[in-house]
Amino acid sequence: MLAIAATLLTVLTVVQRLQTDPLQVGAVQVARLSVDGSYVSPFVDYAANVGVTGREARGYQEFHGLRATTGPAYFYAYGSTADANCLTIYVESTLQVQGNGISGSLFSSCAAGDFPPMLQFPLDFPELPAELAAAYPDAGGVQFVYDRENDEVVVFVDR
């Protein structure tokens, strides 16, 4: 009886965390990226050089050559305050941060009211790692959405 109760509790927890496709476009959740405790932000010196203090970027598990971070809005996020809830995705192999400059492929978006920060790209976008498109050959796009309640980045592809 205890085993049945434990199984039921586990199933309800997992099912509850599965995101649905609200627009019915055929999106499928393929990953939930958790905080990477060993992540060292490459943006610390950049933040200091541009005068931003406070929260540092939090890194999440690497995903096919991409790194998701959340943190302040100093990554090209128009119209947001420094303490905004923002999502940044960058290609780890191309990112270079020196002083107050950043080069490489980096994308950022901030929350708007109750809407969470979200980024999406076509999988044939030339700046994305080839391994991402190879992992989902039948998909046309990928979407990253920050789940603030669970402190995870949810990844969807359209199939």
Tell me the pLDDT tens digit for each residue of 12-48.
444 445 555 555 567 899 999 999 999 887 776 665 5
Please say whether the beta carbons of 23 and 156 come within 8 A. Answer: no
Residue-range definition of the domain harbouring residue 128: 24-158
- Three-state DSSP class for residue 45: helix
3-state helix/strand/coil string of 46-93: HHHHCCCCCCCCEEECCECCEEEEEECCCCCCCCCCCCCCEEEEEECC
The answer to the question of residue 18 being in a domain is: no
The answer to the question of residue 16 being in a domain is: no
pTM reported for the whole predicted model: 0.77
**Number of structural domains in the chain:** 1
Location of structure tokens 């998701």: 68
Location of structure tokens 């420094």: 82
Q: How confident is the model at residue 55 (pLDDT cuts 50, 70, 90)?
A: low
Residue 11 has pLDDT above 50, yes or no: no
Residue 76 has pLDDT above 90, yes or no: no
Residues contacting residue 140 through CB under 8 Å, at least 6 positions apart: 122, 123, 158
94-152 pLDDT, tens digit per residue, is 888 776 677 788 888 888 888 899 999 999 999 999 999 999 999 999 999 999 899 99
The answer to the question of residue 12 being in a domain is: no
The answer to the question of residue 8 being in a domain is: no
Which pLDDT does position 71 carry in this prediction?
82
**90 or 80, which is more confident?**
90
Which pLDDT does position 8 carry in this prediction?
42
Residues contacting residue 124 through CB under 8 Å, at least 6 positions apart: 133
Which pLDDT does position 159 carry in this prediction?
78
**44 or 52, which is more confident?**
44
